[in-house]
Structure 1
């Protein structure tokens, strides 16, 4: 009997491009964000504390090459044959003067065993001149552009001080895909003011975009953020998934409504314990994935089962 694939995973996606094991190394290349420096807004997104996704080796005083070498040492003892993707992750990694951006990307690609780039950015920070350059670069190496979409509802984007619209996200993804570049998206489930129906409706909107990959994350309340203060003042505006099984149920329903060929890279985010207020499930990514897959099998659920084209 044929075994049905529950969902398309990221390692399988990478096998289309690389014969062996490939690992992303997160970088902090010293970028800021137009939602912090006043170009779009001040203060950043209400949920954002960048410390939550920077490993110890990511220090802005270190060069891109030094961060990559330290990241390689971290992984190489397990897999000596490993190749690496330079993951420009912190803040907005296309926000800057074009020549300065090129220098950072090319510094990363000059490091031994680095076989491509993953560039995390905002939908409102992708000028055509940079797309021209990335399109040319991608003729010789792997380049994945990952956009923080976060929500498909403009009222939510305004509420979290995101500084761009859903239309801007659609435009950026479509312009990038038109260049033949792989495109990723990132959304947060559980943002204030969004109902379960809103979140499930998002799956249909996301599926209409020419995205190759998608990351889902649960909303996490992080110490020192504006959202943490808002939660103290109006907890009734928030629905935090304190029960992991409730979040799993939502993710199962969401996955079933997604386009069947979309690659699902992640379902959860893990912030440092000292910064995290809630929800704190105490689960590693692989443990969450195991529970999710078990539940999908129990429900005879699979990606795209409820997808309406």
Structure 2
């Protein structure tokens, strides 16, 4: 029986970003996380305080990652952490914690260039908010992109402004669209995140959000199921009124992700489907499986449903 080849050039039923990355580079590339001590405008008072209600950065920062150490020191510790697993590889410096473009341009340049000066670092992945980007910064990143792999990942989270208000996000979906369009055509790799299950978001709305976002000039899309984490404002809200939230069951979420896959732009690469909080951090939902196990179940369900990414896509 002949295996079908899909528009993205292989037989996986979705356009997977990790596979693309392996094909793009001749050697293994690993992201090494950096906490450069940034904050966010909804934390420092410029747009609000307390940050996003679901956010606890400690739940995903590696142990080697602390703003008390320099960018170079964190890279060295990250490389040492991965050295026992992989013999030869290059690295992307992943500025992950909080909003990593939220600062004066000269400070940002010094941090990014310190990372790029490391002999094993071939590029940057910068996680940020769509309201923390300026034209001069985009011009600078465009220049860097001529010589390095430069990616900016925007936390869009939802296309529903009521949901964004409910999580104290501090920006609108329209701002996210405008920023993505301003970043396009500069040689910068653009990623976007969506959180599925926020207050005021129904599964039908979440599906529309993914479709709408996939029609923008993004390269990658990360999907996350909403998780209620300890030591967050949302944990208190969940304790008071759990019915405010749509927390997916695992099987329900698998089918939801496939519904998304079928309808989004097949040119957009899918980078991630789920969050996985460390032990002790997660309140709900508790699925009890690891990321790779979820992906295996997802791929099996795609076969069972005889479907693939973009099968029902209608170009906007």
Determine if the TM-score, normalized by the shorter chain, exceeds 0.5.
Answer: yes
Shift of 1:238: 1.3
Tell me what 2:181 maps to: 174
Residue 305 (str. 1) matches residue 306 (str. 2): no
Tell me what 1:284 maps to: 290
Aligned residue among 93, 97, 100 for 2:100? 93
- Single out whichever of 57-66 and 71-80 deviates more from structure 2: 71-80
- Measured in 1, the distance between the counterparts of 2:291 and 2:221 equals 16
Tell me what 1:34 maps to: 41
Shift of 1:179: 1.8
1:21-53 CA-partner distances (Å, limit 9, x unpaired): 111111101111111001111111111111111
Aligned residue among 58, 63, 68 for 2:70? 63
Instruction: Spell out structure 1 runs of 4+ moving beyond 3 A.
Output: none
The alignment partner of 2:198 has SS state of: coil
Tell me what 2:196 maps to: 189
The alignment partner of 1:232 has SS state of: helix
- Measured in 1, the distance between the counterparts of 2:279 and 2:253 equals 19
Residue 255 (str. 1) matches residue 261 (str. 2): yes
- Unpaired runs of 5+ in structure 2? 5-10
Residue 46 (str. 1) matches residue 53 (str. 2): yes
Shift of 1:78: 2.4
Shift of 1:146: 0.4
Aligned residue among 239, 246, 249 for 2:252? 246
Shift of 1:18: 1.9
Tell me what 2:8 maps to: none
- Count of residue pairs the alignment pairs up: 308
- Unpaired runs of 5+ in structure 1? none
Tell me what 1:141 maps to: 148
- Measured in 2, the distance between the counterparts of 1:275 and 1:16 equals 35
Residue 105 (str. 1) matches residue 106 (str. 2): no
